[in-house]
Chain A
Amino acid sequence: MAQFWQQVVSGLASGGIYASLALALVIVYRSSGVINFAQGEMATFATFLAWTFLHHGISFWPAFALTLAVAFAGGVALERVVIRPVEGRPVLTVVILTIGLLILINGATQWIWGGAVRKFPSPFSTRPIHVGSAAFSIQDIGIVGVCLVAVALLTLFFRFTKLGLGLRAAAVNPEESRLVGVRVGWMLALGWGLSAALGAVSGMMVAPVVFLDPNMMQGILLYAFAAAVLGGLESPVGAVVGGLALGVLLNLLGTYFSTFGGEMRPTGLFGRTAVRRV
């Protein structure tokens, strides 16, 4: 039983990681109807930027804020320059484009910072806490906590602000939105900016745990897709629930069905679902 609880707790911790990136995927999907395969690489790039800021002596939270701002601007710029030209094209065109971005941004990250594994400071304490037989750290709670705060803010934003309404409208029905005065083009760009900033948050939360290297997010992206699909691609709350559930499920399956090993990996199962949805 001790092992069961430990697996649930570390599943929640890993799930928090998946959830944070899933959130970014959901925001882009919700505001522009696109599945962004480059989401993970954008997050990694932003985290390397944060690392550079930290390396130049800026302390954590200012560097964090600065990174968010740069990531937001970068997301907006990407939409305007790269995604805009294919707006309204078949969804597959956009998907292929984001896959191209994935390769491009990954290459740029390697080129600028090299392939070495780096340490990234955590804003939270990594001191272990023992509750009953299970151990976890404040860092684990912090990641899940940051996800929850982000969800709360996003829900408020989408539900209660005019801008949020405009974002949702632009995604659901661009033509009519335009007729009632929503600047659809900018709404899409804003959606990309928001998701890039969220991705940056995810990257900076994840990096202290899995360590920073140019491919940090590639494995996580798969799980994030699965989490987003599990929770419903349009729902931020769903992304978090999906991420946490996936983390726990994976751990329990891996622990108690170890003989099935590779065959039981739900990535494959959910992964296929994700591909079909796009």
Chain B
Amino acid sequence: MKVAVAAVALLVAASVAGARPLATPGVSSSSILIGGTVPLTGEAAAAAGVARGADAYFKYVNAKGGVFNRKITYKYLDDGYEPQRTFLDVRQLVQQDGVFAIFNSLGTSNNSAIRGFLNQAGVPQLFVASGASTFGRDYKKYPWTIGFIPTYSGEGKVYARYLLAKRPGAKIAVLYQDDDYGKELVSGLQAGLGAKKSLIVKKVGYDPSASDVRSEVASLKASKAKVFMIFAFGKFAVQAFITANQLGWHPQIVVNDVAAATSLMQLSPPKATEGAISIVFGKDPDAPMWKRDKGMKLFRSIMARYASGQTPNGYYAAGMASAYTLVDTLKKAGKNLTRKSVLTAATHLNEKTNPFVLPGIKVHTTPSFRFPISQVRLERWHKGHWVIFGPLLSAKP
């Protein structure tokens, strides 16, 4: 019986495929089906807003008529931040649901796990939600993949240039998460310091499955460094701030963007975080400076309408920023939407109007430069909020 059902299903599938051999999967005259994965559960569940924010933005666009009268459906599945689940999810999205493209999937290992499969199948892997530079750099091997946010190595270089200019000669201690994510930040910092690499007097990695980083911070303190780099994830960054303060160590702290969410920073006592430095490229809904900003007003109204009851934090804004760029890309790809045309559009971006990223930042790509956002500014934590300072900086990897 089961065999018979399967055979019938196969026949149906074959005849459907046979009837419209030229149709683009996931695209009809009235709809576009986009797929993605995100941790709705598990250690990184706090970042789920990246998908939910994007989804809310698509609903807003749909209410205004969609793109060329096509409504966007964004089907995002929970992968619990586990790469093997990402792979199963994406296979289902591509083979069963027939999505047009994979968009905004979150996590470095998670995107690495699906990259080979998607490129083999010729499915666009658009605007990867990870700062690992491999997603923008290795386009020769993976032509269907493109990144989005500034790379971790580019971020490390920005910090290096800042320190060389403002704190020349200061000894540096580094706490980093002992995986690809933390290591790329460290190598970016080292590359940026160049000949002054020896200013890093001590670096200590922590295991992401550890319970706390107090021991690591204590041994970094012993280096007597004047600058403390926190290249961490989530609560480990908070613990690092608090421990340094508790130990009576008050260096200039630099914390990487992923660990610098306002909601995380506010968990520490103000004394521990005051004066810390990070980078920024998107507008932070929690920062008072954007209160009257048009883009953030739009953000809040979309949140209220299409994601009511959820806390409108930076993750949602980041999701909307990439959703905006995707809609832009789909428009650029034209009425006759194919996977090829969307890839061409995604690699010829020159977008100056994204309302969710900082004014002045150009979302810019070429076929051989696939790092859509490669400009940032610096920000300093002051009295419970991030305050932006200094000019636009290049954060090329």
* Cβ–Cβ < 8 Å partners of B215 in chain A: 7, 10-11, 14, 250-251, 254-255
- Contacts A13-B214, A14-B215, A210-B212 given: A117-B205 contact, CB under 8 Å? no
- Contacts A119-B267, A213-B235, A265-B207 given: A14-B214 contact, CB under 8 Å? yes
Which residues of chain A from 1 to 28 have a CB within 8 Å of any chain B CB? 2-3, 6-7, 10-11, 13-14, 17-18
Q: Is the CB–CB distance between B212 and A14 below 8 Å?
A: yes
Can you offer 18 A-B residue contacts whose CB atoms are under 8 A? A6-B222, A7-B219, A14-B211, A110-B45, A114-B46, A115-B40, A115-B41, A115-B45, A116-B46, A117-B263, A210-B212, A210-B239, A211-B238, A213-B234, A215-B43, A222-B209, A251-B218, A261-B205
* Cβ–Cβ < 8 Å partners of B209 in chain A: 218-219, 222
* Cβ–Cβ < 8 Å partners of B247 in chain A: 6, 128, 135
* Cβ–Cβ < 8 Å partners of A10 in chain B: 214-215, 218
Q: Is A70 an interface residue (CB 8 A)?
A: no
- Give CA–CA (A251, B218) in the complex, Å: 10
Closest A residue to B242 using CB positions: A126
Closest A residue to B212 using CB positions: A210
Which residues of chain B from 159 to 185 have a CB within 8 Å of any chain A CB? 178
Which residues of chain A from 233 to 272 have a CB within 8 Å of any chain B CB? 250-251, 254-255, 258, 261-262, 265
Smallest CB–CB gap between B260 and chain A, Å? 13
Q: Is A214 an interface residue (CB 8 A)?
A: yes
* Cβ–Cβ < 8 Å partners of A2 in chain B: 222
Q: Is the CB–CB distance between B235 and A110 below 8 Å?
A: no
Number of chain A residues close to chain B: CB under 8 A: 44
Smallest CB–CB gap between B47 and chain A, Å? 8
Q: Is the CB–CB distance between A211 and B235 below 8 Å?
A: yes
* Cβ–Cβ < 8 Å partners of A62 in chain B: none
Q: Is A220 an interface residue (CB 8 A)?
A: yes
A residues whose Cβ falls under 8 Å from a Cβ of B: 2-3, 6-7, 10-11, 13-14, 17-18, 106-107, 110, 114-119, 126, 128, 130, 135-137, 209-211, 213-215, 218-220, 222-223, 250-251, 254-255, 258, 261-262, 265
Q: Is the CB–CB distance between A213 and B46 below 8 Å?
A: yes
- Give CA–CA (A136, B235) in the complex, Å: 20
Q: Is the CB–CB distance between B246 and A135 below 8 Å?
A: yes
- Contacts A6-B247, A137-B246, A265-B207 given: A114-B45 contact, CB under 8 Å? yes
Number of chain B residues close to chain A: CB under 8 A: 37
User: Contacts A115-B39, A223-B211 given; 16 further ones with Cβ under 8 A?
Assistant: A3-B222, A6-B222, A7-B218, A10-B218, A14-B211, A14-B214, A110-B45, A114-B45, A115-B44, A117-B235, A135-B247, A211-B267, A219-B211, A251-B215, A254-B215, A261-B205
Complex partner residue of A128 from B39, B178, B216, B246, CB under 8 angstroms: B246
Closest B residue to A9 using CB positions: B218
Which residues of chain B from 218 to 263 have a CB within 8 Å of any chain A CB? 218-219, 221-222, 234-235, 238-239, 242, 246-248, 263
Q: Is B204 an interface residue (CB 8 A)?
A: yes
* Cβ–Cβ < 8 Å partners of A218 in chain B: 43, 209
Complex partner residue of A254 from B40, B216, B221, B239, CB under 8 angstroms: B216
Closest A residue to B248 using CB positions: A135
Q: Is the CB–CB distance between B212 and A209 below 8 Å?
A: yes
- Give CA–CA (A3, B216) in the complex, Å: 11
* Cβ–Cβ < 8 Å partners of B210 in chain A: 219
Which residues of chain B from 181 to 205 have a CB within 8 Å of any chain A CB? 204-205
- Contacts A6-B218, A220-B211, A255-B215 given: A215-B42 contact, CB under 8 Å? yes
* Cβ–Cβ < 8 Å partners of B212 in chain A: 14, 17, 209-210
- Contacts A10-B215, A126-B246, A219-B210 given: A261-B178 contact, CB under 8 Å? yes
Smallest CB–CB gap between B203 and chain A, Å? 10
Closest A residue to B263 using CB positions: A116
- Of listed A2, A11, A115, A250, residue having the most chain B CB within 10 A: A115
Smallest CB–CB gap between A4 and chain B, Å? 10
* Cβ–Cβ < 8 Å partners of B311 in chain A: 116
Top 10 A-B residue pairs of the complex, sorted by shortest distance between their CB atoms: A115-B45, A251-B215, A3-B222, A211-B235, A219-B211, A10-B214, A220-B211, A128-B246, A115-B46, A6-B218
- Of listed A116, A135, A222, A258, residue having the most chain B CB within 10 A: A116
- Give CA–CA (A213, B210) in the complex, Å: 14
- Give CA–CA (A273, B48) in the complex, Å: 37
Smallest CB–CB gap between A5 and chain B, Å? 10
* Cβ–Cβ < 8 Å partners of A130 in chain B: 248
Binary per-residue interface labels of chain B (370-396) against chain A in the complex, 1 for a CB within 8 Å, 0 otherwise: 000000000000000000000000000
Q: Is B264 an interface residue (CB 8 A)?
A: yes
Smallest CB–CB gap between A207 and chain B, Å? 11
- Contacts A128-B248, A135-B246, A210-B211 given: A117-B264 contact, CB under 8 Å? yes
- Give CA–CA (A114, B242) in the complex, Å: 24
Q: Is the CB–CB distance between A258 and B45 below 8 Å?
A: no
* Cβ–Cβ < 8 Å partners of B207 in chain A: 262, 265
- Give CA–CA (A2, B224) in the complex, Å: 12
